[in-house]
Chains A and B, each alone.
Chain A
Amino acid sequence: MVQIDSGTLFFAAIFTNNILLTNFLGLCPFLSISREVRSSLGLGAAVVFVMTCTAVINYLVYYHVLLPLNLEHFRYIVFIVIIAAFVQLVEMTVERYFPALYYMLGIFLPLITVNCAILGASLFLIIRNYTLTQSLAYGAGSGIGWMLAITAVGAIREKLQKSAKLPKGMEGPAITLLITGILALAFMAFSGMIHMRAK
């Protein structure tokens, strides 16, 4: 198995191998929701929750259903369907029983059904041969890393809106992509410190 321990993996997923800033996954909701810190945090929290849960569920489904049945090549479809169904279920439950939470996070849930970072995390943990605990650590870490990145960009954009006067062509996605690029450069300086791939 892999030498890397779950604790290290957790932090590595947040900082040195941030799924958004080094793999550039989940960019679509990232670009559209990162306008202010409040909604960035909401979307981020929803991603953390869904990513952690689906990483574990998909791990179990892969090793206990797909592999024994020799269906591992179908993992893309199966994972997508499981993620979509899970998000739906969570949305319904939260909406019904936790109204306060729903108004904070719930409305972001439909947005992340098709977030490729979530599918990406599930696929990485298979490719990298993580164990169940490692998968849990990696899922949670990647989610928190994604939240960190979107909140950072959200904060910068909020600040920019108030202080900087941008040329028309630089507004919106353009400046966001530039900020993301610079942030990514900073985060990439750490890459290589920890080897994510299992031997």
Chain B
Amino acid sequence: MVQLILSLLILSGMGGVLALLLELADSYIADYGEKHILINDEKDLVVKGGNPLLSTLGQEGIFIPSACGGKGTCAYCKVKIQEGGGPVLPTERPYLSPEELQGHVRLSCQVKVKEDLKIEIPEDLFLVKEFRVKVERIEDLTPQIKGLHLKILSPEEGFTFKAGQYVQLEVPKYKLTKGREYRAYSISSAADKRHELELVITRVEKGAVTTYVHDYLKAGEELRVMGPFGQFYFRDSHRDILLIATGSGLAPIKSILHQIEKEQIQRKATLFFGARTGQDLYYQEELRMLETAIPHFTYVPTLSRPTEGEQWEGERGRVTNLIEKYIEENADLDVYICGAPAMVESCVELLTKKGIPGEHIFFDKFE
């Protein structure tokens, strides 16, 4: 008995000594002190060295996309490292193309911060943050589309985004899913409202997140949102503005219209909104209000299949018909298109044929 306890004690002691040794080594040998990370030649971070770049940036609130959690298998966390970072590791090589190797692209989960680094990351990742939100209200916009009104609980300073961008909405595990799931949704609320978010969510048959939002989500529930993301946002120019949307594609367009209203932009603006029947039109009051509030804005809804019962006096046909009808050849326009991929593609094709240059056409396809 004494022998047993004694041997256990000695064994634990040996383990303890080794653990202490490692702990000491960790704080003396693996201590790289403070290192600087210069991002995009403007932002200078002072961080504790020795850890992978991905997690170091995460602690500083800069979220590089990563699906595998830093194990070096998903290759989402690519970052351009201009100075420092050492040679490319065998663990990264399989994921980098020859062009990327030339361009100093690395996997940020594999590169450790052991010296001062100079890196380059897409500008919009700076602003990507994680937010806790509370569901204020769920609104039926059409039989298939719900409007989700969210209130930002944390961080306190709220949400900064450009009108037109999207967020990732995460829903918890429920009957249809194996774990937490997230999907991208465009923001329809105004960009200057920093503590409110409004998302427009169309029901997708068997869609993990849309089903949750449509059938399970209740007001008062707390969720997680990450963002903002996306290159689809309102650009400053002197040209007239054409906005085209179908279905939930109206969401980012509405946010853009809020910006035009707030800034009292004097450019001429037109919105073509395509729906199937009168029932599928939504945000009608808001859009009519914006029509009076914005100096030169015209709202043109069009129905592709108005039912017999409804007395529709507006435009008929698809949004492409409106382009044919109203847009002149070589018009000086900035075009923003958002909605189903097929609609976006046929609009872009038509507009290009009308002589509108590609760099003036911005779009977001909702897959």
Question: Is A81 an interface position by the 8 A CB rule?
Answer: yes
A103 & B7 in contact (Cβ 8 Å cutoff):
no
Q: Measured between alpha carbons, how far is A99 from B114 in the docked complex, in Å?
A: 10
Tell me the B residues contacting A by CB distance below 8 Å. Answer: 3, 7, 10-11, 14-15, 18, 21-22, 25-26, 29-30, 32, 86-87, 89-91, 112, 114
Q: Which of A78-105 contact B (CB under 8 A)?
A: 78, 81-82, 85, 88-89, 92-93, 95-96, 99, 103
A103 neighbours in B (Cβ, 8 Å): 86-87, 89
Q: With contacts A74-B11, A95-B112 known, what are 12 further pairs, Cβ within 8 A?
A: A69-B7, A70-B3, A71-B11, A77-B11, A78-B14, A81-B15, A88-B22, A88-B25, A92-B30, A96-B29, A96-B30, A107-B90
Q: Measured between alpha carbons, how far is A107 from B11 in the docked complex, in Å?
A: 30
5 closest cross-chain pairs (CB), A and B = A85-B18, A92-B29, A92-B30, A96-B29, A103-B87
Min Cβ gap A92→B in Å is: 5
Question: Is A22 an interface position by the 8 A CB rule?
Answer: no
With A39-B90, A89-B25 as known contacts, state yes or no: A81 contacts B7, CB within 8 Å: no
Chain A residue nearest in CB terms to B11: A74
A-B contact count (CB 8 A): 47
B90 & A71 in contact (Cβ 8 Å cutoff):
no
Tell me the A residues contacting B by CB distance below 8 Å. Answer: 39, 65, 69-71, 74, 77-78, 81-82, 85, 88-89, 92-93, 95-96, 99, 103, 107
Q: Measured between alpha carbons, how far is A77 from B8 in the docked complex, in Å?
A: 12
B30 neighbours in A (Cβ, 8 Å): 92, 95-96
Chain A residue nearest in CB terms to B115: A99
Chain B residue nearest in CB terms to A89: B25
A69 & B22 in contact (Cβ 8 Å cutoff):
no
B86 neighbours in A (Cβ, 8 Å): 99, 103
A96 neighbours in B (Cβ, 8 Å): 29-30, 32
Min Cβ gap B144→A in Å is: 47
Chain B residue nearest in CB terms to A71: B7
Min Cβ gap B71→A in Å is: 13
With A39-B90, A103-B87, A107-B91 as known contacts, state yes or no: A89 contacts B15, CB within 8 Å: no
Q: Measured between alpha carbons, how far is A81 from B7 in the docked complex, in Å?
A: 16
Contact of A92 among B14, B15, B25, B90 (CB under 8 A): B25
B90 neighbours in A (Cβ, 8 Å): 39, 107
A107 & B89 in contact (Cβ 8 Å cutoff):
yes
Q: Measured between alpha carbons, how far is A39 from B89 in the docked complex, in Å?
A: 12
A88 neighbours in B (Cβ, 8 Å): 22, 25
Q: Measured between alpha carbons, how far is A39 from B90 in the docked complex, in Å?
A: 9
Chain A residue nearest in CB terms to B24: A89
- Can you identify 24 A-B contacts, CB atoms within 8 angstroms? A65-B14, A69-B10, A70-B3, A74-B11, A77-B11, A78-B14, A81-B14, A82-B18, A85-B18, A85-B21, A88-B22, A88-B25, A89-B21, A89-B25, A89-B29, A92-B25, A95-B112, A95-B114, A96-B29, A96-B30, A96-B32, A103-B86, A103-B87, A107-B91
A81 & B29 in contact (Cβ 8 Å cutoff):
no
Q: Measured between alpha carbons, how far is A84 from B15 in the docked complex, in Å?
A: 11
B89 & A89 in contact (Cβ 8 Å cutoff):
no
B22 & A89 in contact (Cβ 8 Å cutoff):
yes
With A77-B11, A103-B86 as known contacts, state yes or no: A85 contacts B22, CB within 8 Å: yes
A92 & B26 in contact (Cβ 8 Å cutoff):
yes
Q: Measured between alpha carbons, how far is A184 from B22 in the docked complex, in Å?
A: 39
A107 neighbours in B (Cβ, 8 Å): 89-91
Contact of A74 among B7, B21, B22, B89 (CB under 8 A): B7
Min Cβ gap B215→A in Å is: 46
Min Cβ gap B10→A in Å is: 6
Min Cβ gap B81→A in Å is: 15
Min Cβ gap A159→B in Å is: 20
Q: Measured between alpha carbons, how far is A89 from B87 in the docked complex, in Å?
A: 22
A70 neighbours in B (Cβ, 8 Å): 3, 7
Q: Measured between alpha carbons, how far is A88 from B26 in the docked complex, in Å?
A: 10
Chain A residue nearest in CB terms to B31: A96
Min Cβ gap B110→A in Å is: 9
Min Cβ gap A102→B in Å is: 8
Q: Measured between alpha carbons, how far is A63 from B86 in the docked complex, in Å?
A: 43
Most chain A CB within 10 A, of B14, B15, B91, is at B14
Min Cβ gap B125→A in Å is: 27
B7 neighbours in A (Cβ, 8 Å): 69-71, 74
